[in-house]
Amino acid sequence: MKFSMIILLLSFSTINFILVQSVTLEISKFGGKPNQDIAKALTSAWAEACASTSAVKIVIPSGTYQMTHVDVKGPCKAPIEIQVDGTIKAPVKPEDVGGDQLLRIGYVNSLTISGNGVFDGQGSYAWKHNDCSKQVKCKLLGMNLGFNFINNSIVRGITTKDSKHFHVNVLGCNNFTFDGFKVTAPGDSANTDGIHIGRSTGVNVLNTQIATGDDCVSLGDGSRQVLVQNVTCGPGHGISIGSLGKYKEEEPVEGITVKGCTLKGTTNGVRIKTWPNQPGTITVTDMKFEDITMDNVSNPVIIDQEYCPWNQCSKQNPSKIKISKVIIKNIKGTSGTKEGLVLACSSGVPCEGVEISNVDLTFNGAPATATCSNVKPKITGKVPECTAPTTKKE
């Protein structure tokens, strides 16, 4: 074992790890070698690290490795860092991975994942077998990274590439930050959300580049106090809250801030989407979308309470999701469609407390328009006139 002194000075949220003694565990100690499956080696290294009473760094050096499903858990006795400098490749076929996520980590406090390495899901084969546009209950084809019930932790520097399904799933976490993270996949990679967050509080996505085939960042029910800042998104479907309301047992969404982001060539910019004719009755409140640049974005700002992908639902009854306290501020750039701002709120529970200021969007050189239904926004500064839609949004 190699001992070293490291100083981690992290000045975000409430994470502060200062002057800890770290034990370094090379993956090779546990039989992990380039061009071989390192699942057992990483699992063994984790077991030793988790039992240690002093901080441990697990190192996966430069090189190319294979890996099948790894599922490791805490609680652990001291902070753990996994430094990934190599490229870790998943099996090509989803059934060969051995689990629904390539790497799943759960029930840990003070986790760091760092390095300049890559988790490569090799997803192109799986994308061809995605049938979610035809099947309501489609088969999920596997994610690169899953973080469950993790607190006071950070992921920085690493890349997730070509995941078969979502790149990252964050569930039940608190005070968890992505910083300098990267997601890369082609625009036609179906259902490859970059970072999906659900039932978590205090998640930060900072200084991150996301190119994928679905939402760059998606926020599911129970997301609270989430900050998405200085994120570049494109290609992709934008930064989305929802979809919400499909299930009765969902939890409220509150305190979401999307700030200082740039969206390039995406199908949506910032979006709130809820299902009509479904049982969910939660509230969505305290949303802030500000200081955002749109570059040829088809739907730059959109509240869609008639969200019904692939016509897999009925619009017989309006959405029961109540949206309130939404700030849309300092949005600029170019729209790929004439309607740059669309607020299609529910006729059953109209949006309340919507404030819009300084929205400067153009379409083909002319000012983009705005349509609003079931909402009376407070307008300040330069904002396109809000008119009623001529037809209902599909």
101-149 pLDDT, tens digit per residue, is 999 999 999 999 999 999 999 999 999 987 765 666 667 779 999 999 9
CA–CA dist 329, 324 (Å, integer): 15
Residue 196 has a pLDDT of: 98
State how far the Cα of 98 lies from the Cα of 167, in Å rounded to an integer: 17
Residue 135, pLDDT score: 66
pLDDT 10s digits, 324-360: 999 999 999 999 999 999 999 999 999 999 999 999 9
- pLDDT at residue 18 is higher than 60: no
CA distance 364 to 386: 19
Q: Can you give the residue ranges of every domain in the chain?
A: 79-387
User: pTM of the prediction?
Assistant: 0.93
d(CA 178, CA 225) in angstroms, rounded, equals 14
Residue 48 has pLDDT above 70, yes or no: yes
Q: Per-residue DSSP letters for 139-161? A: PP--EEEEEEEEEEEEEES-EEE
69 is catalytic: no
Neighbouring C-alpha atoms within 13 Å toward the C-beta of 141: 28
pLDDT above 90 for 22: no
pLDDT in tens, 282-332: 999 999 999 999 999 999 999 999 999 877 788 889 999 999 999 999 999
Write down the H helix ranges in 5-120.
39-51
Residue tagged active-site, from 165, 167, 196, 237: 237
Tell me the per-residue pLDDT of 197-237, one tens digit each, with 9 for 90 and over: 999 999 999 999 999 999 999 999 999 999 999 999 999 99
> 19-33, 132-146, 173-187: which has the highest mean pLDDT?
173-187
CATH code for the part of the protein at 79-387: 2.160.20.10
Query: Percentage of residues in the chain with pLDDT exceeding 90?
Result: 87
Distance CA 15, CA 36 (A): 35
pLDDT(53) > 50: yes
Residue 17 has pLDDT above 80, yes or no: no
